[in-house]
Amino acid sequence: MNILKKIIFNHTHKANLMNILKKITTPLVLTSLLVVMLSGCTKPEGPAEKAGKAVDSAVNKTGQQIEKAGDQIQDKSNR
């Protein structure tokens, strides 16, 4: 009787383990496929996007220089 219980327990334990693994691996595989598919859809930057980034960079640098000049003027006026 004891051996029969062990066989039944091992069989149900293996079945439960397989169900758990199926529930875990299916979403992982689907998520991995989605990531691979979406990463393949990115297009290289075109000339307009590169120009836009250059303009953004120039505006940021100009803003920083203006802020620095304003700070220097304020420091001199406080003396």
Neighbours of 14 (CB within 10 A): 10
Reported as a single tens digit per residue, the pLDDT across 5-28 is 666 666 666 677 777 777 888 888
Reported as a single tens digit per residue, the pLDDT across 20-69 is 777 888 888 888 888 887 777 667 788 998 999 999 999 999 999 999 99
Residue 1 has pLDDT above 70, yes or no: no
**DSSP code of 42?**
P
Where do the structural domains in the chain lie, given as residue ranges?
1-42, 45-79
In angstroms, the first-to-last Cα distance of the chain is 98
Global pTM reads 0.43
